[in-house]
Structure 1
């Protein structure tokens, strides 16, 4: 954790998982935080978002809860897809490195929130204030001031910046920020029940059924959860009435069509109508909008909360670097550039899924049926079956912070269940590394999240980076970190390369000249870049840079 920075706090508007994550990450960078939430306290009812992706667990691990979330949750590695009662295909998830986390963990959002709350309670830098409903927001060149309605009357709270993540029902806040929230709402509804029962063999896989005999013409999704509980989602007609379904015995029949003649208990139930919406801007001055307040997508693919946590990480390190004076205020604009593009990707992917799940025309319905029937024997047809492309980190290939490398072009969206080949903009694969002076074996992503990290190949000169006011930059020879060869294998590192990693563990640059490292670091911090034609200090003095590695 970075030493505490004196001064005004950063405001976090919303104490859900995205706000909790933002607060803990900001505190990790040494910033005081005030969290404001309109609710009187934590809502313990309902499982809500249950499916946490590997790289989100990795973010939570940086604040001390990732391993515990993984331990308490149910892990699964296989996604099975059925048409009616016949399995069409299944796939498992790739890992180009050696992550300690499974591809997905299913756990109640309430339990995740409780674990994050424990870490917040242990942090002297985070002040959570329940019962503070934001009624006005003002900002100027010095900070952000929000007016809150409380049981004790109106109060004003001021901070230098704000992360706004109060959830989907944020129309008032979006209006205060002058944001539009275009998109669409899907007509069909979905019945969701968490059912506690015993289903042997289903504990470690996700099952998706197209048009099963027990929900004809629609879909059913089944996820395993802890404590012998299964999340079951039924697509239902727009006029579905849950109360009538219960009173008529229809809900019991639905559940028994899945679980059979065995005892069960309904832990939670609800009916949802899904939306696909995205704000026009995710940065408004000193306010960064995150999570469901910024984007809504259907849950097929688990891209809601997972994407929101990655919003929080992106926002936190950038606000921290600006507050510490390590980067100019212009760095915050890259939050919009990167996370809006990520949200748009999620909208595109989930909208395509909903079009496949809920055809709008007879022609679309015939196409879907044809694809599903052919998929039983046709590999090409299987690629067209869309039961929800599962959550994945976005690739910042086109970010203004990324230095492109013509020798490592981004090939585009990877195949389902796979991850991109390491390249500029991509989240770096994880693996164990050994750092001199540390008794413990750390992971590459843990190392990267300590600041700006430069990895230098055996044959590459060590770059000299300009001195900066406390900027956390470390330079490491890859061989010194990589006693097993896993690092070179995971990266696909080539001789003579230098890799620049961002504080969120994405690759900022892969370079073959030491002279290009300093400009790449300047670029990832949105600093004015040096004239590449000007000689670097290392060149001007004419000495070799192989005499040692420095931590700047």
Structure 2
């Protein structure tokens, strides 16, 4: 019998496997895709300082490896209807960077190599169909009839988690109307855009929709906030992106698109992060789904993974129960914080729009107003329950 089986080889599953190996546990990682899978774009760009610290605890030197490849910028700019309302350039960090920015497929590449160095056993083409849980362990059944038996399982199998469905654990919450479009774009060699993060409220070039540009190694990501009545055909296909992208970043990039996808605004948290026997632990998008404001998705998922490894290594139902309570508390905070950000970005209340217009008008003479416009789209960063133990 295996000590632990992790299901899902995305960034959260890889982190869980790595954290378990750091605690001396044998780990089998099951992934439904083949070993030579080609991963698509970059829903998650930011690896924050707190997350880098967790990764370095799993394998010393890993954080520096990721940070040295990623990009950290010092300048942030915010515009309102085409007029700059906030700009700040920070000095280069003297220690670990506050974040690093790289495509999710690159983060996964570093994590997979770290897992291989740590001795994680990978099983590819292993799509799990069902899970049976007892007081002493779990049995996972694959679609091809193979079985894996373990003392514990970590469900890192994403938003449509097979393990969560098999355990009958409900996702609680709601979804907002509308969607946003995420586009990865490669740099034009010799004509790279400035190393800045730029946010536009009501960008005049895309009909007053809000848009953000974020650099990563080798290119940048554009995030377009669509309206409730927008269609994917009009804004979310590659052909549509080619039409509106030049108005946001200039000419020369329509043929440099690497990846396009659309996401709905979900606010959902699992009713429980574990089963009644405390043998299966849910992490990442198997446990929670937020709008991607403030880089809460992957960062909170990696915090889940670290906490799951700690609980499993402790080997008690009480430790898993604490994991359940603490990480669910963190997820509820992050879901609420992301909802606050969404209310600011897609205001339904007239008073919110009035406050934004007033702040934009006052920003040249009242710096606080520009700072508020800069920070509000990402939701509160502090205030997570003490039980959670971490920002995410």
- TM class, shorter-chain normalised? 0.7 to 0.9
CA gap of 1:244–1:381, structure 2 versus 1, over 3 A, is closer
| Residues 245-254 or 128-137, more deviating | 245-254
* Structure 2 counterpart SS, 1:208: strand
**1:100 Cα deviation after fit:** 3.7
* Structure 2 counterpart SS, 1:160: strand
* Rg (Cα) greater in structure: 1
Q: How do 1:272-421 and structure 2 match up within 5 A? A: 272-284=263-275, 285-322=278-315, 328-382=316-370, 384-385=372-373, 386-389=376-379, 397-398=386-387
Identify the residue that residue 213 of structure 1 maps to in structure 2.
204
**1:208 Cα deviation after fit:** 0.9
CA contact (8 A) 2:178 2:230 kept: no
**1:336 Cα deviation after fit:** 1.5
Identify the residue that residue 260 of structure 1 maps to in structure 2.
250
Which digits, 9 at most, give the CA deviation of each residue in 1:313-365, with x for residues without a partner? Answer: 1111221122xxxxx43122111121111111111111001011111244443
CA separation in 1, counterparts of 2:385 and 2:320?
Answer: 15
Tell me which of 196, 200, 218 is aligned to 2:186: 196
**1:114 Cα deviation after fit:** 1.4
**What are the ranges of 5 or more consecutive residues in structure 1 without an aligned counterpart?**
1-6, 323-327, 400-424, 428-505, 507-552
**1:120 Cα deviation after fit:** 2.0
CA gap of 1:397–1:155, structure 2 versus 1, over 3 A, is same
CA contact (8 A) 1:303 1:391 kept: no
**1:287 Cα deviation after fit:** 1.3
Identify the residue that residue 33 of structure 1 maps to in structure 2.
27
CA gap of 1:188–1:37, structure 2 versus 1, over 3 A, is same
Identify the residue that residue 139 of structure 1 maps to in structure 2.
133
Matched, 1:129 2:129: no
**1:148 Cα deviation after fit:** 1.4
Tell me which of 43, 51, 57 is aligned to 2:52: 57
CA gap of 1:244–1:329, structure 2 versus 1, over 3 A, is closer
* Structure 1 counterpart SS, 2:143: strand
CA gap of 1:311–1:71, structure 2 versus 1, over 3 A, is same
Matched, 1:107 2:106: no
Which digits, 9 at most, give the CA deviation of each residue in 1:360-380, with x for residues without a partner? Answer: 244443344334434443355
**Greater RCO (Cα-Cα under 8 Å, separation 6 or more):** 2
**1:245 Cα deviation after fit:** 5.6
* Structure 1 counterpart SS, 2:377: coil
Which digits, 9 at most, give the CA deviation of each residue in 1:82-130, with x for residues without a partner? Answer: 21222323457899xx974211211111111112111222333x22212
CA gap of 1:83–1:272, structure 2 versus 1, over 3 A, is same
Tell me which of 160, 164, 168 is aligned to 1:174: 164
CA separation in 2, counterparts of 1:55 and 1:215?
Answer: 35
CA separation in 1, counterparts of 2:301 and 2:138?
Answer: 22
Let me know the Cα RMSD of the aligned residues: 2.9
Per the normalisation by structure 1, the TM-score is: 0.63
Identify the residue that residue 72 of structure 1 maps to in structure 2.
69
Runs of 4+ that moved beyond 6 A: 92-95, 246-249
CA gap of 1:92–1:8, structure 2 versus 1, over 3 A, is farther
**1:235 Cα deviation after fit:** 1.5
CA separation in 2, counterparts of 1:99 and 1:26?
Answer: 31
CA gap of 1:247–1:358, structure 2 versus 1, over 3 A, is closer
CA contact (8 A) 2:51 2:299 kept: yes
CA separation in 2, counterparts of 1:209 and 1:190?
Answer: 14
* Structure 2 counterpart SS, 1:283: coil
CA gap of 1:265–1:101, structure 2 versus 1, over 3 A, is same
* Structure 1 counterpart SS, 2:118: coil
CA contact (8 A) 2:333 2:385 kept: no
**1:76 Cα deviation after fit:** 2.2
* Structure 1 counterpart SS, 2:41: coil
CA gap of 1:83–1:246, structure 2 versus 1, over 3 A, is closer
Tell me which of 10, 24, 39 is aligned to 1:44: 39
Tell me which of 227, 244, 253 is aligned to 1:237: 227
* Structure 1 counterpart SS, 2:206: coil
Identify the residue that residue 262 of structure 2 maps to in structure 1.
271
CA contact (8 A) 2:181 2:236 kept: no
* Structure 2 counterpart SS, 1:146: strand
CA gap of 1:75–1:266, structure 2 versus 1, over 3 A, is same
**What are the ranges of 5 or more consecutive residues in structure 2 without an aligned counterpart?**
none
CA separation in 2, counterparts of 1:269 and 1:82?
Answer: 24
CA contact (8 A) 1:81 1:387 kept: no
Tell me which of 217, 223, 247 is aligned to 2:214: 223
Which digits, 9 at most, give the CA deviation of each residue in 1:488-531, with x for residues without a partner? Answer: xxxxxxxxxxxxxxxxxx9xxxxxxxxxxxxxxxxxxxxxxxxx
CA contact (8 A) 1:246 1:252 kept: no
